[in-house]
Structure 1
Amino acid sequence: MDVLDDILATLNLRGALYFRTQFNGPWGVTVPELGQAARFHLVVKGNVHVTVAGEASAWLEPGDLVLIPRGRSHVLADAPGRSAPPLETVLNAAGYDGEGVLALGGSDEAASTQMICGHLTFRAGADHPLLRALPDHLVITNALRAREPWLDEMLRLIARRMFSDAPGSAAAVTRLSEIVLIEVLRVGVAQSGPLKGVLAAFADPQIGRALTLMHQRPEEVWTVERLAAEVGMSRSRFAERFAETLGTGPMAYLSDWRLQKALAMLEDGRRSVQQIAQDSGYRSPAAFSRAFGAKFGVAPSEWRRSG
């Protein structure tokens, strides 16, 4: 089992919205916060100054990409300090209906900026050490792309598809962007210590094996002792290394993961709450409901109705 695959599938990673921009100088826009989302901006032409949550900032040049994985509010502009109205205001003023190119700015076409913008979403309630480890932003420069041919080709394909009117282009971009997110996390690992630890856990022969066991069979009665024995480690060393890399203990990880699997099954709608409780590894529906309510604040049946 590919643990990362299972995580992203269970958390319901989906490409959701994509558009091209034609921004002529001077220009600026404030992109609002959006929970359970990862936004990206790929610069095709011109330069972009990005400020995330009013703090971190970076300059982007043609070929650069910024990923804002935690949905934080950010400002995009052709220079620092520009007036930057909210994105909704910009969309309304432009009469943008989701088709074609979003235009903004003045009449200086020589200073135009073209970007491909989009976002990917996770289901409501999605949670995992991987998501918690993500920084406010990751920048993939054109120079870094040159050292990563797989990622570089994916971004080139997205650009070609976005500038094409061929049937199926939107669907292709949606699927490609999901692959790009995975590659960006791998390539950008040096920009985040916590993210580096989580990805190292997936690759670690022993911790990775323990994760695979929990992901393959979350319904089993796992204990720290049993997992440690399965991967050939002492109980104390296993628990210590697991917490070092993932930022949480083995049993806390398993408990949270069972609830994420339960969310996916509740959304699917084909199993009863009692069956979901059993398949998630709970001894009884009552134990499942208590754990679910403590995590999400509502009973499983209420969560299903609200969805």
Structure 2
Amino acid sequence: MDRRKFLRTSLLAIPATALPLSQAQTSSLPSQQNKTNTYPDLKVSWLGSAMLLIQFNGFNILTDPCLGGGENAFMMGNPNEMFDLSKGPNIIQHKRISPAPELGETAIHQIILSHGHEDHFDQKAQEDLDKSIPVILPPHDLKKVKNVGFREPETLDWGAHKTIQLQNSSIKITAMPAYHSENPEIAKILGKGNGYYFEFSQGNWQRNIYWAGDTFGTTKVIEALKAFKKPDLMIPHMGGVGTTGPLGKISMEAKDLIPFVEKIEPKKILPIHHSTYELYLEKISQVALKNDEYLFNLNLLSEGSVLSIP
């Protein structure tokens, strides 16, 4: 069964009104904001679920946008309930526990999707975001993104990359393998998504971020990462989704993160994809408990907080 017929629901299931951010200034990139003699400016804001605002020298990247709030934040199958795998799960309204994010007048220059499940790209984001914003996405989700009206989708398959050139700096984005389940058959059902490795450069200065997407630290993921420098920041997806349903675990728990981190040795870790929705089963406190001996540099941000990367 294809992922589009499994967890997903109709693209037009929830009508939405326009948000202020839908008219973000996408027509022009930041120009004179970052002079040659200024220090690079890189920061990451966690906006709930897998939604990040990554800002580098005035260029703003929004990942996995989810804008719905309240009891009916988005519609999707429920992987946490028992169901017949041959038929798929019941499509239900999912509750957001935290307030819906506010971007206000923030200009969004690039959207990047790890994959198209509605807890990563909800109906409100599909409706409200400015369709002229370029979107980087896995090939599996191209049809969906086109169908909801985005005019500049660009697919990156595993190993492919794109470089965004700014005035005196650049961002190289490489699509990395992502396995939504450690069970190959379940991973196939859920569809092929991406992680991404970001290389931010200005002169001799470089910082690297590995945004894992919905993946486990499988052998193939670890092998792919060996071609890159140890990340300055790793952003894994947590939550233990699916542990109570027939799919089994389809996002990491704390016990899955530890060996992953030990193999790739990032300088800092920012766990996301937890706490925002009732969909996420494991509390993020479990990661802190697993790190009681300070095995790694852990950043547990509250939603809306900003992490600067010097």
Name the structure with the higher helix share.
1
Pick the structure with greater CA Rg. Answer: 1
